[in-house]
Amino acid sequence: MAARVAITGLGSLSALGNDVAAHLAGLRAGTVGIGPTQGIDVSAMKTKISAEVRGFVPEDHFDSRQLGLVDRTAQFAVVAARQALADAGPALEGVARHRVGAIFAASVGFHAVDDSYRKLYLEQAPRPHPFTVPRAMPSGQVSHVTMDLGIHGPAFSIASACSSASHSIGTAFQMIRSGMLDVALAGGGESQLTYGMLKSWEALRVLAPEACRPFSKDRAGLVIGEGAGAVVLENMDRAIARGATIHAEMIGFGMSADGMDITAPDRDSAAAAMAFALEDAGVSPERIDYVSAHGTATALNDKTETAALRQVFGAHLEKLPVSSSKSQYGHTMNASGALDFVTTVLALREGFLPPTMGYNEPDPDCALDCVPNAARTAAIETAISSSFAFGGLNAVLALRRYAG
């Protein structure tokens, strides 16, 4: 019989704040963490805004030796993982070392890459930083999480663009449910706020000039954010036996691939991922009380996601709240699924609907209750969190409020 899976630890850093309490307060207050970019010089860019993690001092979290090895992306992941494990209490006590795993998004150390290119090409330095390779490698964050927290079981990274963290959480869920692991840390961090990456996104012509406005008719593109989310997943029986605080229960995971286009989304494939998550959870569409949408605020993505929701939920969509928290903390790319998952857990646990901020005008192509511009109190029992990535790599996670 498949094991039930408890969520016993949460960790986050985002433009709403540098821990879960600040993240929750920002969600409830409708805080928008998007603003003028301060961390790098954007005077030569058209896009002047982003969703930065502010007030993060690396020296407060890492010693001087570590700082030479850990890119900003991995720093965020390690700090979020520390938070999640501390929140879970003695989750690792008495667990055989091979039965604790860590699965995190694969994310390039963009700051290390940007620094090395600047040194080589602009400053004509003879060599980049000697630790550029380990700082830049996509598996860096999960490696640092395992070393920092003493994890010795299965550990690896998953690369599926903006679905990476969701795929990581879903895979950890499957490994616990199947009996392979007792405890797992999962999630992802990302910081693409470098000159090179922002100029690259600008060249793609998908960045919003002023604000992130998911599902609003005047939406004009996404806003790049940075941050990390991490969760501790645990065998439910074990969590109950040790008296753990259980934030929510994870109940399903669905995946699909569009197999069509490297940037444009596909309605049928997105709908399939949602339907597979519901089937895996054993929940009918009518039982879902809230959808944490991918909701990037690009014209095509929001329209396609709405059509996919209509295909899965039918008439139930008329009374189903669907919101995009990227309007508050930006699109954190490979970390976005983890932050959206943490947001969904908090919504279930605390009994509220996170808002879609910046919503100005209804769009007939996005006819949704998107919880516009203010959070809403609601006793929600079951929810899904969706990630639809470039390359058509989709992941949807299903959760249930834990009532004991």
393-400/248-257 β-pairing: antiparallel
- Find the catalytic residue in 144, 294, 366, 370: 294
- Find the catalytic residue in 162, 212, 366, 370: 162
Q: What is the largest CA-CA distance in the chain?
A: 64
Question: What is the spatial distance between Cα 176 and Cα 334, in angstroms, rounded to a whole number?
Answer: 23
Question: What is the spatial distance between Cα 175 and Cα 269, in angstroms, rounded to a whole number?
Answer: 24
Question: What is the spatial distance between Cα 384 and Cα 291, in angstroms, rounded to a whole number?
Answer: 5
Instruction: Please answer whether residues 71 and 154 qualify as being in contact, where contact means their C-beta atoms are separated by less than 8 angstroms.
Output: no
Residue 77 to residues 108, 109, 181, 189, 297: CA-CA distances in angstroms? 12, 12, 21, 5, 25
Question: What is the spatial distance between Cα 304 and Cα 144, in angstroms, rounded to a whole number?
Answer: 37
Closest CA to 198 of 223, 175, 217: 223
What SS3 class is residue 382? strand
Indicate if 23 belongs to the active site.
no
What SS3 class is residue 121? helix
What residue type is assigned to position 373 of the chain?
Answer: N
Indicate if 111 belongs to the active site.
no
**Cβ-Cβ contacts under 8 Å for 404 (sequence gap 6 or more):** none
Q: What's the half-sphere exposure (Cβ side, CA atoms, 13 Å) at 19?
A: 8
Closest CA to 324 of 355, 345, 299: 355
Written as six digits, the tokens of 330 are 């930006």
Question: What is the spatial distance between Cα 346 and Cα 341, in angstroms, rounded to a whole number?
Answer: 9
Indicate if 152 belongs to the active site.
no
Q: Which class for 43: exposed (0-12), middle (13-18), buried (19 or more C-beta within 10 A)?
A: exposed
- Find the catalytic residue in 144, 331, 366, 370: 331
What SS3 class is residue 36? strand
The DSSP symbol for 207 reads B
Instruction: Please answer whether residues 74 and 144 qualify as being in contact, where contact means their C-beta atoms are separated by less than 8 angstroms.
Output: yes
Q: What is the Cα gyration radius of the chain?
A: 20
What SS3 class is residue 103? strand
User: What is the set of active-site residues?
Assistant: 162, 294, 331
